[in-house]
Amino acid sequence: MQIPALAIDGPAGSGKSTVAQAAAARLRFTYIDTGAMYRALAWKALRLKIDLTDEAALTALTQKTTWQFVDNGATLMLDGENVSAAIRAPEVTNRTKFAARAAGVRAHLVALQRQMAAERPAVMEGRDITTVVLPAARWRIFLTAAPEVRARRRQEDWARRGFGGVGGDYDEILRDILARDESDFSIGPLKDALDLAQAGKIILLDTSAMSPAAVIDRVIAIVE
């Protein structure tokens, strides 16, 4: 049975968050950023000085943690504390892969995410949504763009926020994007999603030559 949800997967910098958030607002669906949930666990582990390579400790930590999205998904409350800004810090971004690699953590978060999607129609974005979390979602999209385009967009985004001088170097950003691709695709589900998209089983949307507004319109058209 299909469930009324829009599942979006794709690599870092593909514009998933912007597109998913805008689509959720227009469709009046709940927006769920699953990457934020992995980031938040890594942030908590760092704060508690838990060894991030200790899978059992990370898995145990999930049992003592609560995740709650508010403000239409724009804000994540971890154990009741707003962590939305803290989880975007570079040291958290760089270490989130440890939380994402731990099988016990993934099992726990996948169950929570399914529960969230069962409560209300959702736009859910991540790396394993189309394949593992909501394979029965009514709409499934793999959103991507060339690494060079993703790096350029990230650089422009940093400049807009006034961070131009800090980490604003294009070559460095591109290297970082390629390193994250290697880590993300090695986890499995994201590679499976790409395979499904290339086989025409889910929608492949390459946004390399599209404006954000055009991508959002296209996604809305797919759902409507």
In whole angstroms, what is the distance from residue 96 CA to residue 120 CA?
A: 27
Q: Which is nearer to ligand DC, 128 or 192 (CB)?
A: 128
List residues binding ligand DC (CB under 6 A).
12, 34-35, 38-39, 96-97, 100, 126-128, 180, 184, 187
Find tokens 């000085």 and name the residue.
49
What order do you get walking across the sheet with 81-82 strand by strand? 67-70, 75-78, 81-82
Q: Please name the amino acid found at residue 2.
A: Q
CB of 34 or CB of 62, closer to ligand DC: 34
Minimal distance in Å, beta carbon 159 to ligand DC? 20
- Taking the complex as a whole, the smallest distance from the CB of residue 7 to ligand DC amounts, in Å, to 10
Distance CA 4, CA 126 (A): 17
Pick 108 or 224: Cβ nearer ligand DC: 108
Q: Are strands 75-78 and 81-82 parallel, antiparallel or unpaired?
A: antiparallel
Q: Kind of pairing, strands 30-33 and 203-206? A: unpaired
Q: Strand, helix or coil at 203?
A: strand
Q: Which is nearer to ligand DC, 176 or 184 (CB)?
A: 184
- CB atoms under 10 Å from CB of 221, counted, come to 8
Q: What are phi and psi of 127, to 5 degrees?
A: -120, -20
List 82's β-bridge partners, or say none: 77
**Residue 84 and residue 139: Cα distance in Å, rounded?**
27
CB 30 to ligand DC: min, Å? 16
Q: In the complex with ligand DC, which residue's Cβ is closer, 29 or 176? A: 176
At closest approach, how far in Å is the CB of 13 from ligand DC?
Answer: 8
The nearest distance, CB 200 to ligand DC, in angstroms, is: 23
Considering the complex, what minimum distance in angstroms separates the CB of residue 42 from ligand DC?
A: 8
Q: Residue 34 or residue 216: which is nearer to ligand DC going by CB?
A: 34
